[in-house]
Amino acid sequence: GIQVEQSPPDLILQEGANSTLRCNFSDSVNNLQWFHQNPWGQLINLFYIPSGTKQNGRLSATTVATERYSLLYISSSQTTDSGVYFCAVVTGNQFYFGTGTSLTVIP
């Protein structure tokens, strides 16, 4: 099956800092989503982004499907951004989660 790798696996930021999370995938995909899983386990949709760039407040995402990667940008990080960020790709009828990036934002 398709391999979906995320980097870095762990990240610690000071509040107010910016960061970039990366998602690499090994084969062409039909679609890609970014999720934030908060410390209570809730999986929140961030972006549905098969290609191009989208922005939502302090977050933005870019997917370059031809080069098989996607980036999630977090600007002016806040403590509430802490949690695990997953990308997930769709190929055929299968939905694959990436390995995740665990983010801790300290005040």
Partner 1 sequence: DTEVTQTPKHLVMGMTNKKSLKCEQHMGHRAMYWYKQKAKKPPELMFVYSYEKLSINESVPSRFSPECPNSSLLNLHLHALQPEDSALYLCASSLGQGSPAQPQHFGDGTRLSIL
How many CB atoms within 10 Å of residue 7? 14
What are the DSSP calls for 11-51, one per residue? EEEETT--EEEEEEESS--SEEEEEEE-TT--EEEEEE-SS
Strand, coil or helix: 82: coil
- Three-state DSSP at 106 gives strand
Closer CB to partner 1, 28 or 55, in the complex: 28
Stretch that binds partner 1, among 11-19, 56-64, 72-80, 90-98 (CB under 8 A): 90-98
The answer to whether 93 contacts partner 1 (rule: CB under 8 A) is: yes
Kindly state the tokens that stand for 33.
């989503």
Residue 11 touching partner 1 (CB under 8 A): no
Q: Which of 17, 22, 24, 50 binds partner 1 (CB under 8 A)?
A: 50
Binding range to partner 1, per CB under 8 A, among 13-21, 42-50, 56-64, 70-78: 42-50
Residues that bind partner 1 (CB under 8 A): 30-31, 33, 35, 40-43, 45, 48, 50, 86, 88, 90, 92-95, 97-100, 102
